[in-house]
């Protein structure tokens, strides 16, 4: 597994800031963003960073400096984006199952709004008419993604308005005057086959014909895959970019309508930038297994337990030690196994282990379960590590509690 931060750098950060600690490499985010812009150079494309993957405001500011826009799924992500310096028109808000008051709050902030529910669309159109153009999130009924839990475009998904309800959408548009300037879809994450996007694009072009007078944008969501080990594949964004550009050019030739394509990369931008460094607390041998118990658990990195996700693990304190087989577990009063029967260089109590691909949905999905404290976050830019979130202290556990 390639790494852009060295063992020496990560050990130094662990010694300086303590463990567990999340470490993000700014230049890797930059590299990934440039892969996208270069890959889609032939297309009229715009990229919105899906900030649900990592919302630290310092990361948001770095992403903005690259020229990206921002994709948000809650009103508080919208507010974080504005705080980080994004202009309202640079923010796309795509909520699901929220109260109408939250959508109205986003409207008052002036951001792009993506509506995925017939009821909400009717309420919004009735109240605001044509004065505030919106996007509509459609469910294309395409099964895609690396895990059912992250597949969002299948027939039983809670996301989006079914493409078979287009007549209903048209009735609302006609009766309320609401202007639809964009159509959106997102089939899921960890998509290996670029043809899934093209399959979805065919559906979107067909839906576009119903809104030709006002349509400006087709948003294909994201789901670009990143490699989690040396044999894993990555979405070929250069090939996809060429195919998408050709498809949009053909659509324009056929209809005379020029549309912009939007994407919402999250994991693709920040997964590989992240390292999660933990300390080996204990080595415990049973009749069948040798456990490495570390000073973390699913309260800090839940993906292996929640999604059965693989994270490459490396002993950065003893990288040349003899290889042995370990099961890596956490310190939570629950089954929190990071990896079964994993080959690692010999682990000694006190060694530092690093989990790779920890930038996306690591800290974001963390909690204070077992009254454990959340880790610090460090951003490395120009080889200089900077603390961007302090480690929790005991008083943080009591914050907002009402004590008699």
Neighbours of 250 (CB within 10 A): 11
51 is catalytic: no
SS3 323: strand
- The DSSP secondary structure of 279-319, one letter per residue, reads EEEEEEE-SS-EEEEES--TTT--HHHHT-----EEESSST
Instruction: Outline where 40-112 has alpha helix (H).
Output: 57-66, 75-83, 100-109
CA–CA gap between residue 263 and residue 221 (Å, rounded): 5
In contact, 162 and 184? CB cutoff 8 Å: no
Which of 51, 72, 273, 333 is flagged as catalytic? 333
In contact, 385 and 23? CB cutoff 8 Å: yes
CA–CA gap between residue 211 and residue 179 (Å, rounded): 9
Residue 334, marked binder: yes
SS3 53: helix
- The DSSP secondary structure of 327-388, one letter per residue, reads EEE-SSSS--EEEEEEEEE---TT-EEEESS-SSSSGGG---GGGPPPPEEEEEETTEEEEE
101-to-89, 96, 120, 317 alpha-carbon distances in Å: 20, 13, 11, 51
In contact, 95 and 73? CB cutoff 8 Å: yes
Residue 223, marked binder: yes
Closest CA to 225 of 262, 266, 186, 184: 266
Going by the DSSP 8-state scheme, the letter that residue 85 receives in this structure is T
Instruction: Outline where 177-227 has alpha helix (H).
Output: 195-208
What's the angle, vertex CA 190, arms to CA 217 and CA 295, rounded to 5? 125
- The two tokens of residue 109 are 């902030």
Half-sphere exposure in the Cβ direction for 233 (13 Å, CA): 10
Estimate the crossing angle of helix 118-128 against helix 166-176, to 10 degrees. 10
Q: Return binding residues for substrate.
A: 303, 307, 334, 361
Q: Return binding residues for pyridoxal 5'-phosphate.
A: 223, 361
Q: Which residues are catalytic?
A: 333
Q: Return binding residues.
A: 223, 303, 307, 334, 361
């Amino acid at each position: 597994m390639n790494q852009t931060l060295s063992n020496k750098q990560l050990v130094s950060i662990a010694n300086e800031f303590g463990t567990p600690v999340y470490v993000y490499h700014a230049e890797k985010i930059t590299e990934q963003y440039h892969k996208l812009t270069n890959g889609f150079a032939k297309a009229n494309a715009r990229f919105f960073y899906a900030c649900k993957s990592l919302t630290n405001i310092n990361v948001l500011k770095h992403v903005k400096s690259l020229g990206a826009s921002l994709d948000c799924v809650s009103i508080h992500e919208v507010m974080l984006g504005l705080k980080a310096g994004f202009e309202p028109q640079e923010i796309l808000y795509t909520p699901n199952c929220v109260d109408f008051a939250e959508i109205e709050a986003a409207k008052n902030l002036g951001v792009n709004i993506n509506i995925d529910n017939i009821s909400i669309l009717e309420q919004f159109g009735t109240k605001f008419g044509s004065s505030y153009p919106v996007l509509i999130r459609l469910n294309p009924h395409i099964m895609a993604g690396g895990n059912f839990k992250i597949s969002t475009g299948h027939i039983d998904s809670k996301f989006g308005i079914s493409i078979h309800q287009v007549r209903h959408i048209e009735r609302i548009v006609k009766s309320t005057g609401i202007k639809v300037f964009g159509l959106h879809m997102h089939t899921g994450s960890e998509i290996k086959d670029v043809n899934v996007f093209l399959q979805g694009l065919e559906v979107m072009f067909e839906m576009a014909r119903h809104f030709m007078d006002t349509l400006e944008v087709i948003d294909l969501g994201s789901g670009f895959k990143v490699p989690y080990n040396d044999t894993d594949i990555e979405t070929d964004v250069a090939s996809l970019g060429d195919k998408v550009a050709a498809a949009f050019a053909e659509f324009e030739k056929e209809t005379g309508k020029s549309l912009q394509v939007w994407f919402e990369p999250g994991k693709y931008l920040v997964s590989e930038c992240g390292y999660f460094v933990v300390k080996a607390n204990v080595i415990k041998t049973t009749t069948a297994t040798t456990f490495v118990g570390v000073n973390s658990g699913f309260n800090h990195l839940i993906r292996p337990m929640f999604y059965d996700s693989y994270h490459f693990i490396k002993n950065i304190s003893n990288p040349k030690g003899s290889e042995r087989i370990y099961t890596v577990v956490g310190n939570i009063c629950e089954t929190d196994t990071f990896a079964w029967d994993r080959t690692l260089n010999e682990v000694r109590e006190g060694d530092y282990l690093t989990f790779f691909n920890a930038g996306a949905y690591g800290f974001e999905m963390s909690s204070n379960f077992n009254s454990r404290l959340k880790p610090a976050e460090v951003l490395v830019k120009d080889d200089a590590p900077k603390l961007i979130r302090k480690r929790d202290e005991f008083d943080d556990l009591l914050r907002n509690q009402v004590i008699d």
